[in-house]
Structure 1
Amino acid sequence: MDRRKFIALAGVSAGAATLAACQGNGPGAATGGDNAGSGKGGANSLVVYAGADTNIQDLWTKTLIPGFKKATGITVNFQFDLHGQNSDQILNKIAAATQQKKDPGIDFLESMGDRAGAAGLLADPTGKVANLSEISQDVLATVEKNAIPYRGSAVLLAYLPSKVGQPPKSLDDLLAWIKANPGKFAYNSPDSGGAGDSFVQTVLGKYLTPDVLKQMQTGYHKDLEGNWDQGFKALADLNKSMYQKGVYPNGNNGTLELLLQGQISMCPAWSDQFISGRASGVVPKDAKALQISDPSFTGGATQCGVLSASKKQDLGFKLANWMLEPEQQAAIAKAIAGFPAIPMSKLPSDVQSEFADADPGNLRPGFNSDMDSDMKSQWQQKVPGH
């Protein structure tokens, strides 16, 4: 899955009225939790929407929802949209309700907080979510207006210690290792998954000035894409050193399967996928992962938020604050291997050791979604086979 891109919902309010009839979860959506779905559970209930994978559905229905009700007595009605396939429809529905000063039927967004924040649809949590003070200013600086980061992930360098004595610690060291160990490294094609996409972005970023990189992260600037030429040449030069001289696996799992089989010794991998995969056997038990530097691989926080149109903002802020408590942060880390949003020092030692080399405080944003789309297209033209 191509994760955690901070996409502004441009013009959503202007077009919202025409989509005001878009109610409910839409086709293919699923719901769970106590009295799930309708949002008519009374004054002590809250409607939470999530558009994500089934692991997030399980996190909420099996861990967070029952835990929150036990702690507070508040019922959560959970609206779940597999892979967020109806997310645009839901956001337009919320924007229409906000514009018309009506109840949107949703109080809290588990995901899409970045898009809702960029569109001005979230209530200000300042002074209402005390545990926001536990989140580093560096992480808070990456989120959209009024959004609350509650978990995160990043792409890491996964490797087999039995085959890699001294793992590379920087991008330059990694590139040198790949050339010195032909056939032992792979990354998936960037259009098939975020791990390979991050590797390509990171190599391109090596040759960009800070100003150009910042512009590519925050907006669409097609006129700047010529700055990628040097990075694409470097990637093309790596072809002969890749697994089977230029084979690019399909999807994030593709490279991890090669690692599991011992056909490669190193690959980029999502932190949550790597850590949970090691527990399930998809990733070798003895595999390790670390975050490189200068620059690091990309990553980001999952941003939630309380809707400004909600009539139950107080309950929404209570949920957000509860989610940022150490017990819940540890539960999230254990359930889905999500980076904690609060300091690692606040969490149990077993969680700290699991993330020891992941550097969860370092969440370098990727390219703007339109820039990223152009990059994937150009990679196909300029890298494989060259």
Structure 2
Amino acid sequence: MKKKVSRKTWILSGLSVLSLAAAALTGCANSGQAEVSQDVPTVTIWGAGGQEVREALQTIADAHNADPKYNTKAKVEVQFVVSGTSEQSLEDRLVATYQAGETNTDFDLIALDDSAIAKIVSRTKEDFFDDIDTSKIPNYDNLVFKDNVVGTNFIPYRGTCVYLAYDSEVVSEPPKTADELYQWIEEHPGRFAYCDPSTGNSGFSFVANTIYNQLPQEAALSNDPKWETEHTEEWDNAFSLLEKLHPYLYQTAGKVQYPIKNQGVLDLLATKQIDMTPAFANMVLSQKNMETLPDNIKLTQLEEPFLGGLAGFMIPSIGSDKEACLSVIDYYLSYEAQAIDWNTMFASPVVDPSKLEGLEHEDWLAETDMSSMRYFSIGTIQTDISKRWTEEIGSLAR
């Protein structure tokens, strides 16, 4: 495994002291890392997504590197591709490395949402990611999401869910079902928006729910193309409904607008240009904590929940020290690391939340209970949904 100079430590202001590891992070992170022997293997975590995900991964990595129980087994470094930039995507980097025939790289651990994995496998090979021996991960026993649709080569480390975010000063009784939401949209023209689903999964969740509410429950957990090719009537009905709703959505300059990215709709909500939108819970909570979203923005979930998913670790076959990777995964599943993840980006824990200590805004954790998560993992069908939406619905706004 390659030895590299440590990246600059990321420490979020106000991070609670959770344990000896976190105390070392906030008080003497640099000296803690300096004590790590140069002979300790370096495990590079590669991730992709928003800046808040990057900061959370790095903050936990710093705490790991200051923990004497773990820093004698591995040193963690984080490489991250921030979404929305001109950088080559993590998927493309992995595929290019694979196609070049490289077998000993610093792609040691990959931290991705489960929905992104099928795209990588489709461009490499079925066994591109190694099976993970969970018997060598003691904190695996902490995990409450052991069953996942990816399989034995995927270990979840955080959860994510889309909720209905609304302005409680305007909406006293938010919709409870999808049908009630559709009715509310028509009764309140221009006060609802969802982002272009090809640019943000909060918008994708609205579109996907419109389709999958009409399909059997198991369809949301399958990438089998039959759910698309053998259920054309349900798909057609869903897109007809989206077309029907189109004129009632947020408008500017007399035209319906689909904001770009997940942040786009939250900006409209913060400035009272809309009253309601699907949004990722952690984004809403983080921005309320930073006071860029006001306290009157609340979250609720429908009886047919919006999509939820898991982000987790996978070990590519082209990486290096597998044993060191297992030790790093073990730390990220510790109660200490899970608490840091919540305090850094309000990521839904994948362990029993009652075991976590030193949490900020513990009441918000109860509001976003992962037990109600509707798990979506549909592989490349997601691409088909976004493409059809662009052709049939997005084109209406041009």
Corresponding residue for residue 20 of structure 1: none
Q: Please state whether the residue corresponding to 1:355 is helix, strand or coil.
A: helix
Corresponding residue for residue 65 of structure 1: 61
**1:325 is matched by which residue type in structure 2?**
S
Distance 1:367 1:267 in 2: 22
Out of 267, 271, 274, the residue aligned to residue 284 of structure 2 is: 274
**CA RMSD, Structure 1 to Structure 2 (Å):** 3.3
Distance 1:94 1:345 in 2: 42
Normalising to structure 1: TM-score of the pair? 0.78
For residue 112 of structure 1, report the CA deviation from its aligned partner: 6.9
User: 1:364 and 2:374 equivalent?
Assistant: yes
Q: Deviations over 1:327-369 (max 9, x none)?
A: 2111111112211111222224645312222232344344634
**Cα gap change, 1:210/1:361 in structure 2, threshold over 3 Å: closer, same or farther?**
closer
Percent identity, aligned pairs only, is 25
Q: How does 1:1-386 map to 2 (within 5 A)?
A: 32=7, 43-52=39-48, 53-61=50-58, 63-71=59-67, 72-73=70-71, 74-83=74-83, 85-91=89-95, 93=97, 103-111=104-112, 114=117, 119-137=127-145, 140-210=147-217, 213-214=219-220, 217-221=222-226, 223-224=229-230, 226=232, 227-244=234-251, 246-294=256-304, 296-307=305-316, 312-348=321-357, 350-366=360-376, 368-383=378-393, 385=396
Distance 1:192 1:112 in 2: 15
Distance 1:284 1:103 in 2: 48
**Cα gap change, 1:363/1:308 in structure 2, threshold over 3 Å: closer, same or farther?**
farther
Distance 2:322 2:113 in 1: 17
For residue 157 of structure 1, report the CA deviation from its aligned partner: 0.6
Distance 2:81 2:274 in 1: 36
Q: Please state whether the residue corresponding to 2:112 is helix, strand or coil.
A: coil
Distance 2:8 2:110 in 1: 15
**2:207 is matched by which residue type in structure 1?**
V
Corresponding residue for residue 18 of structure 1: none
Distance 2:96 2:202 in 1: 30
**1:85 is matched by which residue type in structure 2?**
S
Contact 1:110/1:305, CA 8 A, preserved across alignment: yes
Normalising to structure 2: TM-score of the pair? 0.76
Q: Deviations over 1:266-286 (max 9, x none)?
A: 101112221112223332232
Q: Please state whether the residue corresponding to 1:121 is helix, strand or coil.
A: coil
Greater Cα shift, 177-186 or 266-275: 177-186
Q: Please state whether the residue corresponding to 2:105 is helix, strand or coil.
A: coil
**Cα gap change, 1:361/1:228 in structure 2, threshold over 3 Å: closer, same or farther?**
same
Contact 1:259/1:284, CA 8 A, preserved across alignment: no
Distance 1:311 1:249 in 2: 42
For residue 33 of structure 1, report the CA deviation from its aligned partner: 5.4
**Cα gap change, 1:214/1:109 in structure 2, threshold over 3 Å: closer, same or farther?**
closer
Distance 2:361 2:381 in 1: 35
For residue 308 of structure 1, report the CA deviation from its aligned partner: 5.5
Distance 2:46 2:132 in 1: 20
Corresponding residue for residue 19 of structure 1: none
For residue 184 of structure 1, report the CA deviation from its aligned partner: 1.9
Question: Structure 2: where are the runs of 5+ without partners?
Answer: 10-29, 31-36
Distance 2:149 2:355 in 1: 22
Q: Deviations over 1:270-322 (max 9, x none)?
A: 1222111222333223211122222x111211111345565533322222111
**1:220 is matched by which residue type in structure 2?**
P
Q: Please state whether the residue corresponding to 1:111 is helix, strand or coil.
A: strand
Corresponding residue for residue 25 of structure 2: none
